[in-house]
Every structure is written in C-alpha cells, then in structure tokens.
Amino acid sequence: MVIIGAGPAGLVLGNLLLRRGIDCVVLERTGRDAGGKRARAGFLAAHTVRILARNGLDGGLRRRGREHSVCEFRTEDGRFRLDYRRLGRSEPHTVYPQHELVADLQEQFLVAGGRLHFDTEALAVTDADGPAPSVTAREADGRPRRWRARYVAACDGRHGAGRRSIPPGTVRRHHRDHGVTWLGLLAEAPPSMDAVGYALHPNGFAGHMARSAEITRYYLQCARGTRADAWTEERIWDELALRMRAADYGPLRRGPLLQRTVVDLESDVLEPLRHGSLFLVGDAAGLISPSAAKGANLAVLEAEVLAHALTDALAHGDPEPLDRYSERCLVHIWRAQEFSHWMVRLLHDASDTEGTSLFQERLRHSRLASLRTSSTQQDWFAENYVGI
Ligand SMILES: Cc1cc2nc3c(=O)[nH]c(=O)nc-3n(C[C@H](O)[C@H](O)[C@H](O)COP(=O)(O)OP(=O)(O)OC[C@H]3O[C@@H](n4cnc5c(N)ncnc54)[C@H](O)[C@@H]3O)c2cc1C
C-alpha cells in the first residue's frame, strides 16, 4: 500500500493500517519538520476525537486540547451567543491545532515502525486501472523511484499527484468558487474573547478563533487578489477591531502576526472517490471551504473508513467495503458541503458572486434573525456545526 501525503488523512490512514498489520509506505513531499509547522485547522469534532481515541492516537490532544462550545455573532443589531453543547444533540469541539496533531501522528507512526519518506514528491500514479498500480516519485536526493503496490491512497490534497493522475472523463468534478477571500492570520496574542467570534460588518466578515492561551487565529474578508503582505499589521488590527466592534464589546489583545495566508473559499469534490486501485482521501477527495471547520474532520473520518475497507480487502479477502468506500464518504462530504455553503452565505455579503443585491442582503439578515430567535434553527445549527 502506498500513501501519498503525510497530512491528517495520510497519517491517520498509515497509523491505522500499521496497527492492523497492513504493509504501507507514506511518501511526503516536504521535510520532517514542515508538517508540524503548517498552521491550519484547530477545531476537531467530537467524532474525530473518538476516532483518534479508539485507535490510541489521542495522547497529545488529551493532554493539550481544550473543549470548546460557544460561538458569538456580532452584527449591527447587537450580539448573541450560542452554547452549542447545550443545543440539540450536539457536543463540544476540541481545540487542538492541526500542526500539533500532524506532529503527534507522525511521531506515533515512526515509533510504531512506519516507513515515512520525507522530501519525496510523488509525480504520478500509473496503471491505477489495474491490480498493480505504481507511484513514480522524486526522492530526497533528486533521483526518481518507482513504488509498486496493490493499492494507492492519494492523501496529497487538492493539487496533489493523485488527483492529477486520474484520466480526464473518468470521474466527475464538482467545483464551486464561493467568490469570497479570507486573509487568514495567526497572532501571537491571547484570545480576545471566550468564544469563537463571527463578526458581520459592512466592510466584510471578521473571525476570531482561539488556538491556545498564547495564539489566536483571526480571519478578515478581503478583496479577491489581495496579497498576503498587502496590509500593515496596524491596519490589520485596526480593521479587525472595527469589524469585531471592539469599541462596544471590548478591545482585541494585539500581538505580532506569525503567519498570513490568503484563502479563496472554494469547494471541489470528485465523484467517485476512486479510480481503479487509486483512492482519494481528505482534501484530495473533496476540498471544502474553511467556513465551518470541516476539512480536517472529514479527512480523519475518510481515513478510518478506508483503513477498515483496506483491511477487509487485504487481510480477509473481502473487497465489498472498498467498493462502498466512495458512496459512504460522499454522504458525509455532501452534508458538510451543504452546511459550509450555508455558513458562507450567512457570514458574507453575497455581492461578490451574485451581484450587489439588496434582496440577497435581506435574506442574509433574515437567516441570522432565525438563528438568533428560533430554538429549532439553533438545534439544527448545533448539530451541523459539530457533526460530520
Ligand atoms: C485557513 C484554514 C483553516 C482551516 N480550519 C479548519 C478547522 O478549523 N477544522 C477543520 O476540520 N479543517 C480546517 N481546515 C481544513 C483542513 O486544514 C484540511 O481539510 C486538512 O488539512 C486536510 O487534510 P489532508 O491530509 O487531506 O491534506 P493536507 O493537510 O493538505 O496534507 C496533504 C499532504 O500531502 C503532501 N503532498 C502534497 N503533494 C504531494 C506530492 N505530490 N507528493 C508527496 N506529498 C505531497 C503535503 O505536503 C501535505 O503534507 C482549514 C483550512 C484552512 C486553509
């Protein structure tokens, strides 16, 4: 079994296969320390925590993760809070930065004797339509090498070699550009509030998400095409304070910005998540906008489903669960896409994609009013916000 990519998807899959005695190798383009530094996700759903726990992969998050269950919406009509642990059939999130999870998973894989080749870039998957696919990779020393396996899992993201290797016309691609861009910021500053903050302002959306006692993530909606270094730190903090309505609800705790990323909010799902012996997992299977924090959670869920199915096929000679892998995961992917899309439309002025329309703006206000006032809507929100 060859796994391309050592993000959450590839490393959960690798760890689970190793524990089940399935021979596998993970190929990772970057160096050993890179994955443990890439700050992205932070909110893990309860289901994700359960998957990690039942496979003994939750040591770090049990020690350093924190439960979280409150979000606060700030608008020109005031603010309201939802404690989603107390709503519907919902549960709390666990806040645990993705780069720490990746570092833990990497460590556990290596300690358990897993083969993880860093600085090894997969270039192409060939013969995937037969029973003996192979992966051509460029090794750390620059030399090409061919890996042969019974199956290949592409866990290398949306732009990886797995997706690229699928012949045109064999899978269907569903792509949507939500027309919204975020400047993602990681600040060396304690959280400014005890909730996830979603601020809706005429200048655009702003978000606040605690990562740890010292680090906070902020998001600022910006114009498409904005460069990550286009704004000074002072302008960023002033704009965050304005949109978060710090004058009314308390100042932001400022600090140096450690990281800036520009994220165009897009969705991109392939169907089916398989081409012969090649399986797609995580962002390679379905990119989702980060508006509802679902991507890493889906990656972990899909990795577990695939690990079970591969074990059935390789250890017990039963290929049926593998045949159902795509169908099973797509149910979760589309449910998450639907909720993320709803969040995009809740949090942003729709003008970017749908023309400046007062009608759209009124709908958005009404959506927010329902969330503020209807307990049924709040239960629905809570269940979808944390569930995958
Ligand atoms: C700003 C932001 C915030 C987010 N917040 C959240 C959140 O709060 N909650 C949540 O659930 N999700 C969140 N997400 C989404 C989440 O980060 C992704 O969905 C998740 O990283 C997907 O995991 P993955 O393993 O599929 O892919 P990745 O994490 O992208 O890992 C892919 C790996 O493959 C490697 N690779 C790529 N190409 C090759 C190649 N050719 N050969 C070898 N290796 C290769 C890469 O180096 C990488 O290590 C967020 C995303 C962003 C951008």
Quote the pLDDT of residue 265: 97
Q: What stretch of H or E contains 200?
A: strand 196-201
CA distance 329 to 303: 10
CB of 162 closer than 6 A to ligand 1?
A: no
Quote the pLDDT of residue 80: 97
CA distance 353 to 355: 6
The ligand 1 atom at the shortest distance from the C-alpha of residue 48 is 11
Quote the pLDDT of residue 107: 97
Secondary structure tally for the chain: helices H, strands E = 12, 20
Question: Are the C-beta atoms of residues 222 and 234 closer than 8 Å to each other?
Answer: no
Q: Is 385 a catalytic residue?
A: yes
Cβ burial of 280 (10 Å; 0-12, 13-18, 19+) is buried
Residue 16, SS3? helix
CA distance 207 to 89: 25
Do β-strands 78-83 and 70-75 pair in parallel, antiparallel, or remain unpaired?
antiparallel
Probe residue for ligand 1, chosen from 32, 38, 40 as the CB with the greatest number of ligand atoms within 8 Å: 40
CA distance 106 to 116: 8
Quote the pLDDT of residue 361: 83
Quote the pLDDT of residue 387: 83
Quote the pLDDT of residue 37: 61
Q: Is 294 a catalytic residue?
A: yes
CB of 45 closer than 6 A to ligand 1?
A: no
289 CA distance to ligand 1 middle (Å)? 12
The protein residue whose alpha carbon is closest to atom 21 in ligand 1 is 296
> DSSP per residue over 257-281, as a string?
EEEEEEEEEEEEEEESSEETTEEE-
Q: Which residue has the tokens 């795509």?
A: 326
CB of 204 closer than 6 A to ligand 1?
A: no
Do β-strands 25-27 and 2-4 pair in parallel, antiparallel, or remain unpaired?
parallel
CA distance 190 to 209: 10
Q: Is 198 a catalytic residue?
A: yes
Q: Is 219 a catalytic residue?
A: no
CA distance readout (Å), 29 to 34, 117, 121? 10, 8, 4
List, run by run, the mean pLDDT of 10-residue segments along the chain (388 residues).
98 98 97 72 93 97 94 95 87 93 97 97 97 96 96 97 96 95 96 96 95 93 96 97 97 97 96 98 96 95 98 96 98 97 89 64 91 95 89
CB of 295 closer than 6 A to ligand 1?
A: yes
The protein residue whose alpha carbon is closest to atom 50 in ligand 1 is 41
Question: Are the C-beta atoms of residues 380 and 86 closer than 8 Å to each other?
Answer: no
Q: Give per-residue pLDDT as tens, 278-310.
A: 999 999 999 999 999 999 999 999 999 999 999
Q: Give the number of other Cβ atoms within 10 Å of residue 309's Cβ.
A: 21
- The phi, psi pair for 240, rounded to 5°, reads -60, -45
